[in-house]
Chains A and B, each alone.
Chain A
Amino acid sequence: MTDIIVSFIIAVIVGLGIGGGGFFVIYLTLCMNYGQIIAQGTNLLFFLVSGISALFIHIRRKSVLSRELLFIIAVTLPATALGAHISDFTDPKIPTFFLGALLIISGIASAVRTVKAFIKEKNEKN
């Protein structure tokens, strides 16, 4: 039951687009004692399921495809395959550390961006 509730909440965060991509890895490693690499693999499948569902809603609302986006997709795919291969024969502590650092950076960047938006909104009101 906990799995179901937690996965629903994390999927809502993924759909909202406020940086929920890593939460399922955190839940699996810190709460369910999964190994880092298997948590990453399971998170990818979880993200595909929740992300595709959210994508349908976004696509219905506006056209999101552009030349830049197609180029991004074409470039990221081989790089992703390379990264995924490397993770299989790396000490799991390295991706754990890397993910931790990435979360701190993205959390700070997101918080700074939001605070700036708050300040901008307040200045516009005054």
Chain B
Amino acid sequence: MLFNNKKASEKLLSIWWFFVLGVIGGGIVLGVFIYYSADTAVKSVEADILINNLINCVSHEGYFNDNVLNETFNFFNECNLNKRMFSIGSFYYFNVSIYDKDYLVYNKTGGDYSLEADCRVAMKIKNADKYPGCSEISYPLSYGNKTLRLVVLAGSNQIGGKVPIK
């Protein structure tokens, strides 16, 4: 009865008005879902923290620690890193290299090796959201009367996720 009066229904409760409401409502709902499904990306921050930890344990006040170049130097114990978290297939990767001019005198890696290639790509392109978050730092440090160059690359590909809580 309400919709039978064509003149009135054309003015107010027309199908187009419901279409407009649908578009407005749908737009707001879609916007809210997109906003709240956005991920808080902290992979690069994790990579920076890992680099800081590694640098702090291999150097002190501009000097290499005496035992760094020793083969028995254990990065996991010295840098308080959990070895289980750096196994193959893990989320993390690091590569510590020490150069004497252009000659590589020391190299130690840990974590998932496949992340290194992804890191090289991720550091070259912008908005590489699906790639690991990576950082690389290079600077000179004194070792005895020599100056060596420390290069540290670290990456994290951790996404996190929902878990059931007991």
Decide whether A and B are members of one complex. Answer: no
